[in-house]
A and B are shown apart, each in its own frame.
Chain A
Amino acid sequence: MTARLLIVDDSRAMRAYVRGSLRGFVDCEIDEASSGFEALRLLPRTDYKVVITDINMPDINGLELIKFIRASERHRDVPIIIISTHSSKQDQEKALELGASVFLPKPFTPPDIVDVVASLIKEKGGES
């Protein structure tokens, strides 16, 4: 079954890059959110198989988003991929503590993200 994914990043180019990387390799439909708020708006409406998010975003940061997702009924178990540069070790550790599944440092290649997303979807698919 086609998996639904959510990409949260305030950069259009980054969203387009992730989308382009996955297209044709992972059977998925992708929703995009350009801010934490947009993500909050989309999350209660759809069952996402994977959420991909940046940390450094205006207003609502990626960490807050992870906490929100983990506390929600619908997505408490959804795999979360953090895409960010290696700027802050502290933020990276916090993200993993809060329940992010994978930290994928920028820059990553298309096969990198395909591998991670595909393996996460497979894991979840096996469970349900």
Chain B
Amino acid sequence: MSNSIVIPDMAKLNTGNRNSVIAGKDDDMKLVFLGFVLGDEEFGVDLHLVKQIVMPPPVTWVPRVQPHILGVISIRGNVVTLIDTRLLMGFDVSDRRNSARVLLVDVRDERIGLLVDAITQVRRVPVQAFEESPDLDEGSMTDHVVGIIRPDKQTQVTIIDLKEILLEAMR
């Protein structure tokens, strides 16, 4: 596999094991994450969680819903709820960037769109390079940080349990 992003469509997740919830593993026991940018930080999620990446389509505003719900978009004829990942993660809202993309993920039998500022690349790291969740300050979001990886000296990627965050927000 080269640098191109290959999104497996129907990867099944073994939800029994927490490690497998947050990261896919490839053949040589490397963890595979999709890296994306919010503000000036890079985050990573289990690659298998992401079904598709699309350019942001026109958004339709939905009145009287939580602020992190941007509205609905049309994906291949289906209505998909679009979530502002920045608001969801407690970031401030700043200008929409040209590099913005929508990650499509499946949560509770529903396909959901997540607006992120940019996609970086698929990050593959050996299992031993995965640093378990550091003890950060108590906070709603830090609970969902499962670990950190450092693909190179300059880069640090925070791995989050996106599914859990979404489930909590949708509760």
A and B touch in their complex, CB below 8 angstroms: no
Chain A contact residues, CB within 8 Å of chain B: none
